[in-house]
Amino acid sequence: MRWLIKSAVIVDPLSSHHGQTKDILIEDGIIKTIKSKISDGKAEKINFADLHVSPGFVDLKANFREPGNEYKEGIWNGLDAAAKGGFTHVVSMPDTTPPIAGRADVEYLLRRSNGHTVQLHPAAAMSAQLKGKQLSEMFDMQQGGAVFFTDNAPVERTELMKRALEYANNFGAVIASLPCDADLNGKGVVHEGTTSTQNGLKGIPVLSETIRLMRDIALLKYTGGKLHVLLVSSAEGVELIRKAKKDGAQITCAVSANHLYFNDAALEDFDANLKVMPPLRSESDRKALVKAVKDGVIDAICSDHQPEDVEHKNKEFEQASFGIGAIEHTFSAALHAGLTVEQCIQALAISPREVLNIPYEGIEEGSNVDLVLYNPNESHQVVKDNLVSRAWNNPYIGKTMKGAIYGVFREDSSLIF
Amino acid sequence: MGQLSTRHLIGIKDLTKEDIELIFKTADEFKEVINRPIKKVPSLRDTTIANLFFENSTRTRLSFELAEKRLSADVVNFSASSSSVKKGETLIDTVNNILAMKVDMVVMRHPDPGAAKFLSERVKTVIVNAGDGTHEHPTQALLDAFSIREKLGADFKGRKVAIVGDIMHSRVAISNIYCLQKLGAEVMVVGPSTMIPKNIESLGVKVSNSLMDALNWCDVANMLRIQLERQGDDKDVAFFPSLREYTMLYGLDKEKLNSLDKKITIMHPGPINRGIEISSDVADSDQSIILNQVENGVAIRMAVLYLLAGSLGRN
């Protein structure tokens, strides 16, 4: 298949064409030519106004609810939605039903997603069956294709966390944590702040995140392992990670686009679609998160896609499930948070590739195709019927968002919207 | 008579000062009515009101029911223990089923904060919040302020009210803060820091951990009920070690009251734990307006129901 991308602004800090407007000719999954003007009668032409092209986005945290709850999304549909969000790689979380806790589970996911434009990268359980008691067979799962190991939930046993960091380091594997203290979270449902007080909702203090981060960073320094923090939500959390990086610990972290866009004041009207874990924090936390993306303390912006159906969300706030399902708006939310296009590309495409060790050579002639086509300046209103994801819990519906994704290319496969 | 600025009564937060004063004026008239030998008026004849109580309540429910009956409304009662909720029906379905039987207004008590708002956005009826978890309990705040007005006069400016006890788990506290502030009063919350929300200052209240400091400061002390289940169990860490110690620190008795160089007014939303947050001799003293609160509760609820029924296009 031959494609000719016409006059696209190349945004890729690793490319020698960075910042230039070029035509790009693609054939059989390889970038053939990059030139100011290419004519090719046989190639399928791609022509959009104000077209930009960057390396495809990499999502470090999403859940497609398969196996177990396919009706909420499903892998194939979830990957379609990811493509609509500009992603060409997605890490799926292991807390499915049953969990991704053995090599056969990992291989099942890879088989199910095989052939899709978007590459699925399974993360697998850190503890056996996600029970938080014993180690899982991490080496075997890594051989099967698991990219890192996490319970995607608070790890209450300190000894287990220590052993996991030590053990995984034997074969260079990364442990990923969701830093919150279940004890301090209690029955909390929102950030402990003005809104929780006004609305009489139980609060989750920032302390829950910082106490757990302090523990995990101390364990990381002790063990010399590798840790990826799946989500950081607070200014204090950012500072702890900044210091740990400065101290030389092998730590990376991500923030969800939702935490860059919303703060806890948005929950004033008890919108259960904004109920998420960790909770949306205060405006000063939100600003600190945006700043940390800009200065690189936060490596990556992820979707934290957690699709839910109407029955789990359209109910009394305390009874509604946690999670936001908005993988299609990750880039738009990041733009609205005040990040430049280049800062978005760094946090959505470049740094997360480093976290996952995905080899990447930049948009150059002869390199493998792995691209997203978009226009950061086009605005559109989010309409439920136009969404690809099945998620009912999308708080961006009705909002006018800038940043339109036109399509993704990976190897010899493409999806154009 | 005027109209409220809202269609539902979800919380005091949504009311204006004018709304509150209109409710008080209307309640003045109804209070006169319920002290007549014939206590009933035909205002809500042919209006059907459902009292939906998804959480136990005796006095709030009784007070609403009396208010409804004195207004000649038809009343149906629903309580969660005898309901389909336990069979897994959603709140929206439960209420829509009841509304399908041609009910005009819903008075709801629910354990989840935000439940009344949630419902008001999803079903077509007038909702009166009779307490939604730890969020708001607007009619309680209205009757509390109405009782202060009756005792100390209509001008709330500079009036100092201390709310004492478990602020964190209290819908009465939040609604009272909003209501008293809108009327111009100053509010202090008092209790052990384990039961005061971290960010309560953002509501513009003073915070104290000393009962005596608060008593010396205030004109009115509203003693909240200590919920006995807050003592915790094997699973949860308790908010205070024992009732005995709570009473030592925050219980109001005659000795503390008499040590003040002024006469303050004592309130309690009920039901009282005698000898715990308030001693019997204080509760029954002439400084206490606890039973006036109960009486005013019926008049306030009549006023709220009457004013909200205006939007039904019936009177």
Where do the domains of chain B lie, and which CATH numbers do they carry? 12-137+295-309 (3.40.50.1370), 138-290 (3.40.50.1370)
Q: Does B113 touch chain A (CB under 8 A)?
A: yes
Class assignment of domain A2-52+365-416? mainly beta
- Catalytic one among B59, B122, B244, B314? B59
Place of tokens 């803060």: B177
Superfamily of domain A56-356, CATH level 4 = Metal-dependent hydrolases (3.20.20.140)
Catalytic residue among B87, B102, B157, B235: B87
- The pLDDT value given to residue A191: 98
Which pLDDT score is estimated for B84? 57
Answer yes or no: are the C-beta atoms of A161 and A215 closer than 8 Å.
Answer: yes
Question: Which structure tokens are listed for B200?
Answer: 């309560």
Contacts of B115 in chain A (CB under 8 A): 316-317
B 198-227 → A contacts, CB under 8 A: 198-200, 202-203
Q: Please check whether residue A186 touches B, CB under 8 A.
A: yes
B270 interface with A at CB cutoff 8 Å: no
Q: Residue A197 and residue B112: Cβ atoms within 8 Å?
A: no
- Cβ of B91 within 8 Å of Cβ of A198? The answer is no
Alpha-carbon distance of A396 to A337, in angstroms, equals 13
Enumerate the H helices of A50-177 as residue ranges: 75-84, 103-113, 138-144, 158-168
> Looking at the DSSP assignment, which residues form a beta bridge with residue A252?
A228
Alpha helices in A224-350 (DSSP H): 235-246, 257-261, 283-294, 310-313, 330-336, 341-345
Owner of token pair 């101390």: A218
> So what's the pLDDT on residue B88?
73
> What pLDDT is recorded for position B228?
73
Out of B70, B137, B171, B268, pick the active-site residue: B137
If residue B27 lies in a helix (H) or strand (E), which one and from where to where?
helix B17-34
Is the CB of B174 less than 8 angstroms away from the CB of A198? yes
Query: Is residue A370 within 8 Å of A414, Cβ to Cβ?
Result: no
Is B117 annotated as catalytic?
A: no
What residue ranges of chain A are covered by domains with CATH 2.30.40.10?
A: 2-52+365-416
Under-70 pLDDT residues of chain B = 1, 81-87, 229-234, 313-315
Supply the ipTM of this predicted assembly: 0.90
Cβ under 8 Å to A: B residues 64-93: 90-92
User: Would the CB atoms of A198 and B13 count as touching at under 8 Å?
Assistant: yes
**What does each C-alpha distance from B265 to A392, B145, B192, B228, B283 come to in angstroms?**
52, 12, 22, 25, 11
Report pTM.
0.94
In chain A, where does the domain assigned CATH 3.20.20.140 lie?
56-356
Contacts of A271 in chain B (CB under 8 A): none
Q: Do B198 and A317 touch (CB under 8 A)?
A: no
The closest of B162, B286, B142 to B213, measured between CA atoms, is B162
End-to-end Cα, chain A, rounded Å:
18
- Minimum Cα–Cα distance from A190: chain B residue: B113
Of A197, A315, A319, the CB nearest to B200: A197
**Minimal Cβ distance to B171: which of A200, A202, A311:** A200
Which amino acid does the sequence have at A99? Answer: P
Q: Work out the minimum CA distance from A310 to partner chain B, whole angstroms.
A: 12
Provide the token pair at B118: 């949630």
CA distance B251 to chain A (A): 24
Closest to B112 (Cβ–Cβ): which among A196, A314, A318? A318
Token pair in block for residue B264? 């303050």
Give backbone dihedrals phi and psi of A284, rounded to 5 degrees, phi first. -70, -35
Q: Which of A192, A269, A319 sits opposite B198 (nearest CB)?
A: A192
Of A84, A154, A98, A95, which is closest to residue A122 (Cα–Cα)?
Answer: A95
Residue count of chain B, please give it.
Answer: 315
Give the chain B residue nearest A318 (alpha carbons): B112
Q: Is residue A284 less than 8 Å (CB to CB) from chain B?
A: no
| DSSP secondary structure letter of residue B252 | B
Consecutive 10-residue averages of pLDDT for chain A (417 residues): 95 97 96 96 94 98 97 98 98 98 98 98 98 98 98 96 98 97 94 95 97 98 97 98 98 98 97 98 98 98 98 94 98 98 98 96 96 97 96 98 97 94
Distance from CA of A297 to the nearest CA of B (A): 29
Q: Beta A2-10 vs A21-27: how paired, if at all?
A: antiparallel
Among this protein's residues, is B8 annotated catalytic? no
Distance from the B205 Cα atom to the nearest Cα atom in chain A, whole angstroms: 12
- Indicate the residue of A200, A314, A315 with minimum beta-carbon distance to B113: A200
Q: Does A319 touch chain B (CB under 8 A)?
A: yes
Asked if residue A245 lies in contact with residue A292, where contact means CB atoms within 8 angstroms, the answer is no
Our CA-based measurement puts residue B255 at a distance from the nearest CA of chain A, in whole angstroms, of 34
Q: Evaluate whether B134 touches B113 at the Cβ level (below 8 Å).
A: yes
DSSP A153-176: S----HHHHHHHHHHHGGGTPPEE
Contacts of B236 in chain A (CB under 8 A): 186
Question: Which of the residues of A are catalytic?
Answer: 304
